[in-house]
Amino acid sequence: MNTIQLAIPDVVVFEPRVYRDERGFFFESFNQRTFEEAIGAHAAFVQDNHTCSSKHVLRGLHYQIRRPQGKLIRVTSGIVFDVAVDIRESSPTFGQWVGEILSADNKKQIWIPEGFAHGFVVLSDQAEVLYKTTDYWAPEHERCIIWNDATLGIEWPIEGPLRLSAKDAQGVAFLSAEVFT
């Protein structure tokens, strides 16, 4: 498995070695030892989530202010542009974002550690996204930063109208958001 640190070094992309032949393909989708060596820490996953969304659905930018979740994200069908925003006030990359195309074809996964807001937009007709989390969903601690915050300046690769949930459409501005100290 190839590991790639993005411009924010705590966010890591995992690119598996895919073995293909006339029968199909095989790849190792997760290896605890490789994962922990790449992130430089121990992480235990407690919950798996699976979402299916149609084209131009944007989910995010979500995080939990207490009981924060690290997330390991992959796409099993379709294509998404996945984004991580550093909201750790003490971090040298506070307020910066990184994005990566994840697809069923490239089979990449992205690790988004605790202390980051996360979101994605669907670029294909439909996409299924699976992600593991390091803590349980705690709706009372969930927060949302508005997807198009001018301070963050995320360059979403989208054309046409977006489809947002009511909760995501009412996300707060980055400068007003609760962040990690």
Q: What average pLDDT does range 6-14 have in this prediction?
A: 96
> Catalytic one among 42, 50, 56, 62?
62
Cα four-point dihedral sign 52, 143, 165, 103: negative
Q: What average pLDDT does range 85-102 have in this prediction?
A: 98
Active site residue 136: no
The rounded distance, in Å, linking the Cα atoms of 145 and 107 is: 28
Q: What is the pLDDT of residues 123-180, one digit of tens each?
A: 999 999 999 999 999 999 999 999 999 999 999 999 889 999 999 999 999 999 999 9
Comparing CA positions, the residue from 127, 145, 153 lying closest to residue 65 is 145
> Catalytic one among 42, 50, 118, 131?
131
Active site residue 19: no
Beta bridge partners of 122: 80
* Residue percentage of the chain with pLDDT more than 90: 98
Q: What average pLDDT does range 73-78 have in this prediction?
A: 98
Reply yes or no on whether the pLDDT at 78 is more than 90: yes
Q: In what order do the strands lie in the sheet with 126-133?
A: 2-5, 12-15, 109-112, 71-77, 126-133, 47-54
In order of their start, the domains of the chain are 45-176 (2.60.120.10)
Count of alpha carbons within 13 angstroms of residue 169, beta-carbon side: 7
Cβ within 8 Å of residue 58, ≥6 positions away: 119, 120, 121, 122, 147, 156, 158, 162, 163, 164, 168
